[in-house]
Amino acid sequence: MVRKEGFPGWHDPRAWCAVILVIAANYAWFPVDSTLHHALLSVLHLHQSASHTLGQASFGLEMFLRLAWDSLLWFGVCLLLCRLPQGFPITGPRPLRFVCLGLLTGLSVMLVVILAIWKLGDASVVLSGQSIFSALRNGLSWLALDALGALGEELVGRAVILVLAERFVRVRGAVVVSGIMFSWMHLSNPGASKIWLIRLFLQGVLLAYAVFRTRSIWWSVGYHTGWNWISAPLFGAAGSGYLDEGHIFDFLPHGTPWITGGAVGPEGSLLAFAAVLAAFGLLLLTKTRRRNLELAN
């Protein structure tokens, strides 16, 4: 619910307890992840990826653990705030439609960025040499894994953070806080640059605004999935500083980092700003069945 009167969170002990829970969960996650992830890799005899490289088994396991952790955090925050976990922004009108629209938007705008880098002569794109069967298997596997990862990130950034921040700074402030947190969560990624972090902030703002416009997180989940899948699993470029094993094409940058994105990948390119702007325009064209939530002043 959008709150137009006052800032109830500042005087609500439950809201402050939720803030403490979010901070504690963030710091506790790293030792929990390290312990569980390595233990399960060993027990399940799964392949451990090289540094700055993501393998399907290792990445999938980590994203599953992260989603479970984030789900527990969401339930804890909802319990403290006396709200239903299955309410806004988890549920909303036509979730499948919005997932598909978000997915197509993310796929389209990032595809244009990579093709533009290629056509400008700042990178080469060649086939990775795998068979059609392997390409299809890897492509579909990575799409599912990227969706799993996107769901976990959106559950935190566009459900936990957004709902909690809205109690303290209302909707518009919460959208900005969500953007800041989205950028902050990626500070430790390999090759993180100032340009990329600014673009992440704008993307976080876009994803948060989409939640209030579409009344759920599902457009954002779809968009996040499509954006991530195009760059690393499909084209073989770095995605947020990491390479994916089993990518279908090889993206070979050799131009200026301002255009190629440098070590962080095409999403760190200046062209990615235009992609976020285009996505915002496409979101505004998205029709909703009922009147959208109004942004508070």
CA distance 212 to 214: 6
Q: What is the average pLDDT across 93-107?
A: 95
CA distance 217 to 100: 12
Positive or negative: CA dihedral 63, 213, 229, 263: negative
pTM of the model: 0.91
Q: pLDDT, tens digit, for every residue of 136-194? A: 999 999 999 999 999 999 999 999 999 999 999 999 999 999 999 999 989 888 888 89
What is the average pLDDT score of the chain? Answer: 90
pLDDT at 288: 64
Strands of 94-244, DSSP E: 123-127, 243-244
Which uninterrupted H or E stretch holds 251?
strand 249-253
Q: Which amino acid is at 218?
A: W
Q: pLDDT, tens digit, for every residue of 194-213? A: 999 999 999 999 999 999 99
Domain ranges within the chain, ordered by starting residue: 93-285
pLDDT at 289: 53
